[in-house]
Amino acid sequence: MDSDIRPAGADDLSTVAALVEDAYGHYVARIGRKPGPMLADHAARIATGETYLLDDDGAVLGLIVLVAQADALLVENVAVAPGAQGRGLGRRLRGFAENRAGALGLPRLRLYTHVAMVENRALYARLGYAETHRVCEAGLDRVYMEKPLP
């Protein structure tokens, strides 16, 4: 159900930044620097309408950033508040991405993660994503993955 997912507005900027810091902060020690989502220009992504928030009982517990490309919908970021993980919120956000790609007529989802985030890579593989390539971008070692949509 997408009714609890809404576009972020300019007044959500501090909420977005705090959620991303909470969700990704534990990766800093592992990769030796802040991961990409913590370095993102959240205000720009909100202004272009690419950031969506998942509201649950009046609190923002998750977000997803979706960027339309020529041949895929890029999941630029998906984050769930650490205290809310395990409740299916990430699944709802990923379902929203699939619905959005379908509405845009895009045949696949694309995402990337840091090479050191092995648990994320394993999760995405279980969800039907296949690795397409690896690249170092902005000093970050990224693994790109894609999932065709039915």
CATH of the domain at 130: 3.40.630.30
pLDDT of 138: 83
Written as six digits, the tokens of 63 are: 């977000």
- The mean pLDDT of 95-100, rounded to a whole number, is 97
pLDDT tens per residue, range 5-24: 999 999 999 999 999 999 99
Distance, in Å, from the CA atom of 48 to the CA atom of 38, rounded to the nearest integer, reads 18
- The mean pLDDT of 57-71, rounded to a whole number, is 95
**Residues belonging to the chain:** 150
Least confident of 38-42, 74-78, 113-117: 113-117
Q: How many domains does the chain have?
A: 1
Q: Using CA atoms in the order 8, 12, 17, 19, what is the torsion angle rounded to 10 degrees?
A: -80
Domain encompassing residue 28: 5-148
Residue whose pair of structure tokens reads 């990923």 in the numeric block: 94
pLDDT of 58: 81
- The mean pLDDT of 37-60, rounded to a whole number, is 94
Residue 139 pLDDT grade (very low, low, confident, very high; cuts 50, 70, 90):
confident
Q: What is the mean pLDDT of the chain?
A: 94
Indicate whether this model's pTM tops 0.85.
yes
